[in-house]
Structure 1
Amino acid sequence: MNEIRPTVSSFGPARLLAGTDAGRLDRARHLAVHGPVPVLSSEEVVTLTRTVDLRGRGGAGFPFARKFQAVVDALRNTQGDPAVVVNGAEGEPSCLKDTALLLNAPHLVLDGAEIAAVALRADEVAVGVARSDVLASVQQAMDERRSLSVRMRVEQLPERFVTGEGSALTNGLNNNPALPSGRKVRTSERGLNGRPTLLSNTETFAQLAVAARLGAQGFAEVGLPDEPGTAMLTVAGEAVVEAPTGAPLTYLLQMCGMSVGQGLLVGGYHGMWLSPAAGELALVSREALKALGATLGAGAVLPLPEETCPVGETARVARYMAGESAQQCGPCVWGLARLADELEALTTYGGQAAYDAVFSHVRGVLGRGACSHPDGTSRFVSSALKAFPEDVGRHVYEGGCGRPVLGVLPVDGKDVGKVTQRLLVDWTLCRAHGLCADVLPGVVQLGPDGYPSSADMPLKEKERANAVRAVRRCPALALRVVG
């Protein structure tokens, strides 16, 4: 479980995080900071969000006005009341911005959901979350709003990468397994309990609440002319920063005591890598990042320090992503697992064959999954290998880069910045040379026959470099490092 409580700060005056410097905003403090909840018609919501070009902040960046209008259109052909769903199930370890909002400013998110619900005449707002502390914060906020006409509920769903996929979230809120449906059914037509449903991300509803209070002109006073407002970013899996659009990413990294390093991953584990030169030019902007070949995605920004191995970090994330499979289609179940296997082989042994196998499996999963998880993972892997050509070349032609895998890309909220790895022995190859025990005397213990006494030995972070040396020195090629 990801129980990291993110630090929050702002680059310039805060909007979404206004007032949170003193801690979580209860209902009274929230109203003192932001004022009462405006009431807008459906036409006013569409006009406002289209004028400020409000986009979904969960990854896809879909225009909110079009999504809202789709629900309005669906209601013309459907009887019954619509629903509003807030996607707060942030399942990726590198993303904490929605968690930060729901822990510190839950009423702003619920305001946005209420504005949309009233405009649509929806009778229910459902919030899906994945953490117990977030559940408690949102439930407390809902209890403080009992007098409101819109019925609200919050449900805790499994904390998994795929839980945040739209159909998976809706399935979970419908008391079904929180897994992607695999069918191209729009929630605007059939969502919560089969009703037309407006489903959007936590930050998107908070932005709606701010825009409704400021109006289009006031909202556009901050940020870029064609992308007004602010954006929430998660830096290095721990720090959440609110910044105006157009702000250089390097400024935000400096606020957090970091630099671009070897490269910059933008958009999370379905995002793309930027080279150091491109990272220095990157702005908080959809269009600026698109011009650099990247996407803002879910707002995760992950710099890669010079001290760690890019190929090993990529392999570690690929293994995590394979484990987050919904187990519903071959590309996820088998394809991603094999992709992780080949990346680990490239990390540990190197060679052209391992490199070719990685790209074979990247191509093998593209466009074949029941949801976007295989495609997003394959893009992440291919982007990483293209972003670090020198490091990849050392693995291919020299058997490795000589750097440890520090685990700076989080794959578990309890283990940010750490790595759990194992040294494995292939008994079919081992010939009891004993060199591994010389290199790793605290890890490898030889039995009376001269063979390692165990085929599976846990490694501490500080032992990783020597483990790689042991792998390279083994004349029988019987060792490998995994994890």
Structure 2
Amino acid sequence: MNPDQVMGLGCHGPARLLAGVREHGRLDLWTQTKVYGELEPVPLPELTELAEQVRLGGRGGAGFPFARKLSAVAASVRRRNLPPVVVVNGTEGEPAACKDKMLLSMVPHLVLDGARLAAWALRAPELVVAVADDGFAEESLLDALRERRATAMPTRVVTVPHRFISGEAGALVRGINGEAHIPPGRKVRASDSGVGGRPTLVSNAETFAQLAVAAAIGPREYAMCGTEEEPGTVLLTVTGAARRPGVIETPTGTPLKEILRVCGAPTGQGVLTGGYHGRWITPEDAGQAEISRRGFEEVGGSLGAGIIVPLPDNTCALGEVARVTHYLAAESAGQCGPCRLGLPEMGRLLTGVLDGSTSPEAVRALTAAIRGRGACSHPDGTSRFVLSALEVFTDDVTAHLYHQGCGRPVRGLLPIPDGPGGGGAARLSVDWSSCDGHGLCAHILPELVRLDENGFPSIPDAAVPTWLEPQARRAVDMCPAMALRMGV
């Protein structure tokens, strides 16, 4: 998401990550030191204990315990006798999120301080900060590095393509190593072999910022807000039906309905929690949910990357979900069957549910067939998003299956960027005045083209994945009637 589209930046409760932002705007190094103090190196055992005491989990989606990451990298360093690398993942390829970009834009020194604490403890000689090539946060980050030039450790800023999968840890490491920005296709722990083949600690920007706050105020004060199980605060990106969209810092345990009220957001038809690899919850569950990993899980939701998107009543819910599913299919690496064949088929089946020609059971059967079989978590995450939508938007599904649709337009309220998978990417179309139904396109490009009952091509209104573009051009070039077209 473009941070310019997020109008608000504020706190509901005590300001921890955003302390001083309201008074000073972007915190330069002098102001950062005035607000948070100057952090001193902390030995690895003490830093690991601090992360355990505040129960710090990764804030990029999975919530993996940060202390276990530290310990895994340290063990790998001892075993392999290689210097480690610390990587700040500020790429945030999730279209509905911009909290990490906001942190790097407004409090970059807080993120760098947290990363420097980890690097000091691990005795890492190098720090890498990865940002997307969308132009946001990079200038603020570079300014911060210039401001602390006299005391900074060697730090490299790496830009990666602004794509959904670019921020996946394996894809990020490959990109930093100069390889293709896609997951490696097999499980490789960065703690064992990451940047340059060395033990690597990878966490997102908010995680490092939280570590810096915990070190600055201590575990006792850190736990003065939030829940006992998940102390402290979280950052949320709230958009969708919100009249006052924004990035909000709030203590864990805060009722979700309170954050929606602050942002002027009705629950509408349902609320997406955790982003496009997260889950939808019903308006009733949204009224009961508390903001924490456990709180969302209790109502079938997911905290994930801190994304909250209430869907208003004036858009077609199923159409919004299908649109995002086509985007996720186009954003895959295309290196395994579940992504190359399964996700495009999932989008196609959802389009069939929209026009009443396909049962949602076909979608459920497909997700069951691909779950757990991908080279990375992308198929599983997309399946969660789709299955939860079918469970929450049952009335919309029924309207499309039995009543010629819901009568609402698809307003495109779930954000999708331009470029691969988004609105500015290449699409296939057919000139029906020329098409004779030869069917050659379906043989050349089975991932995207199906033949209908009359033998004519059926093509989803979705972006052509980058990895399929050569094949799509070949299908266009070989169309006997020159009816197949590809353009933006």
**TM above 0.5:** yes
* Aligned-pair CA distance for 1:396: 1.3
Report matched runs for 1:2-401 at 5 Å.
2=2, 4=4, 6=6, 7-21=8-22, 22-130=24-132, 131-148=134-151, 150-236=153-239, 238-347=245-354, 349-351=355-357, 353-401=358-406
User: Given the two structures, how large is their TM-score scaled by the length of structure 2?
Assistant: 0.83
CA distance in 1, matches of 2:5, 2:71: 36
Q: Match of 1:403, as an amino acid? A: R
Contact kept in structure 2, 1:9 and 1:242, CA below 8 Å: yes
CA distance in 1, matches of 2:340, 2:151: 45
CA distance in 2, matches of 1:148, 1:413: 39
User: Given the two structures, how large is their TM-score scaled by the length of structure 1?
Assistant: 0.84
Name the SS of the counterpart of 2:360 in structure 1: helix
* Aligned-pair CA distance for 1:136: 1.4
CA distance in 2, matches of 1:259, 1:242: 19
* Aligned-pair CA distance for 1:159: 0.3
**Runs of 4+ displaced beyond 4 Å:** 418-430, 455-458
- Once the two structures are superposed, residues 264-290 of structure 1 have per-residue CA deviations (whole angstroms, 9 ceiling, x without a partner) of 110000001111110001111111111
CA distance in 2, matches of 1:100, 1:157: 18
Do residues 406 (structure 1) and 407 (structure 2) align? no
- Once the two structures are superposed, residues 360-379 of structure 1 have per-residue CA deviations (whole angstroms, 9 ceiling, x without a partner) of 33223212211111111011
Q: Match of 1:18, as an amino acid? A: A
- Once the two structures are superposed, residues 345-392 of structure 1 have per-residue CA deviations (whole angstroms, 9 ceiling, x without a partner) of 222x214x3433322332232122111111110111011011111111
* Aligned-pair CA distance for 1:251: 1.2
CA distance in 2, matches of 1:456, 1:291: 36
Check 1:253–1:423 CA distance in 2 against 1; reply closer, same or farther (3 A cut). Answer: farther
Contact kept in structure 1, 2:145 and 2:152, CA below 8 Å: no
Name the SS of the counterpart of 1:142 in structure 2: helix
Contact kept in structure 1, 2:353 and 2:400, CA below 8 Å: yes
* Aligned-pair CA distance for 1:207: 0.1
Sequence identity percentage: 48
Contact kept in structure 2, 1:15 and 1:210, CA below 8 Å: yes
Contact kept in structure 2, 1:265 and 1:302, CA below 8 Å: yes
Name the SS of the counterpart of 1:24 in structure 2: coil
CA distance in 1, matches of 2:95, 2:417: 6
The count of residues paired between Structure 1 and Structure 2 equals 430
Mean alpha-carbon deviation: is it higher for 334-343 or for 261-270? 334-343
* Aligned-pair CA distance for 1:23: 1.8
- Once the two structures are superposed, residues 28-49 of structure 1 have per-residue CA deviations (whole angstroms, 9 ceiling, x without a partner) of 1111111101321100111111
CA distance in 2, matches of 1:309, 1:360: 23
CA distance in 2, matches of 1:457, 1:55: 39
Contact kept in structure 1, 2:226 and 2:233, CA below 8 Å: yes
- Once the two structures are superposed, residues 225-259 of structure 1 have per-residue CA deviations (whole angstroms, 9 ceiling, x without a partner) of 22110000000165110001111111111111111
Contact kept in structure 2, 1:118 and 1:150, CA below 8 Å: no
Mean alpha-carbon deviation: is it higher for 136-145 or for 272-281? 136-145
The alignment yields a C-alpha RMSD, in angstroms, of 2.6
Contact kept in structure 2, 1:2 and 1:413, CA below 8 Å: no
Q: Match of 1:377, as an amino acid? A: T
Name the SS of the counterpart of 1:4 in structure 2: helix
Check 1:266–1:419 CA distance in 2 against 1; reply closer, same or farther (3 A cut). Answer: farther
